[in-house]
């Protein structure tokens, strides 16, 4: 079964974006092989607000090599090349995606979306690249809700940037937990 992996960068104080959605504090470390990372996934799921950030970088918000599914209650359901906006219940869509053959599914963002899928028992791993910066405010890694216990499966420190890569399995998750590469 395909895994749903919440893979994200976060500040030391637990924010995935600044107060206005800014992410310019995320440093690019030359030791991170982004091409290899993208090859682990064939699908990305995200909420509307995250999609708007991705879309602002150009085009319709597509991510090369990935089918992007955007969950929205306000945008009309529509399909663009590489991007599908849906008004369906995220839980139902993710359950169906996990049953299909393919590579892992990247839970790309949207704190509310992450929380709902975690609470539904659909998130298989939480993989955080902790960037050595304190933002003081912003969009949290996870909105308030029930406790979710995790099991550390791997970690790695990148000396050039000071980023700490952490990989956690969610107990009861599908497949072997991912290792930090």
SS3 65: coil
Is the separation of the CB atoms in 153 and 177 below 8 Å?
yes
Quote the CA–CA distance of 94 and 50 in Å, as a whole number: 17
Residue-wise pLDDT for 147-167, tens only, equals 999 999 999 999 999 999 999
Dihedral angle at the C-alpha atoms of 143, 147, 151, 154, nearest 10 degrees? 20
Instruction: Compute the distance between CA of residue 170 and CA of residue 129 in angstroms, rounded to an integer.
Output: 17
Residue 59: predicted pLDDT? 66
Quick check: pTM over 0.95? Answer: no
* Paired sense of beta strands 41-47 and 104-109, if any: parallel
| DSSP output for 74-119 | SSPPEEETTEEEE-S-HHHHHHHHHHSSSSEEEEEE-HHHHHHHHH
Range in 15-19, 80-84, 126-130 with the lowest mean pLDDT = 80-84
All domains of the chain in start order, with CATH: 4-19+31-141+148-158 (3.40.430.10)
């Amino acid at each position: 079964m395909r895994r749903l992996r919440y893979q994200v960068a976060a500040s030391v104080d637990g924010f995935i974006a600044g107060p206005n959605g800014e992410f310019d504090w995320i440093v690019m470390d030359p030791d991170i092989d982004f091409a290899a990372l993208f090859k682990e996934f064939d699908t990305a799921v995200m909420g509307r607000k995250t999609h708007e950030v991705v879309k602002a970088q150009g085009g319709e918000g597509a991510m090369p090599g990935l089918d992007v599914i955007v969950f929205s209650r306000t945008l009309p359901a529509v399909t663009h090349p590489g991007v599908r906006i849906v008004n369906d219940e995220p839980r139902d869509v993710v359950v169906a995606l996990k049953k299909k053959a393919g590579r892992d599914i990247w839970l790309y963002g949207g704190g509310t979306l992450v929380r709902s899928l975690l609470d539904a028992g659909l998130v298989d791993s939480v993989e955080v690249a902790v960037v050595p910066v304190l933002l003081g405010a912003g969009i949290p890694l996870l909105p308030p809700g029930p406790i979710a216990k995790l099991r550390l499966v791997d970690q790695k420190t990148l000396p050039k940037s000071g980023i700490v890569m952490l990989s956690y399995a969610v107990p009861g998750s599908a497949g072997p937990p991912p290792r930090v590469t």
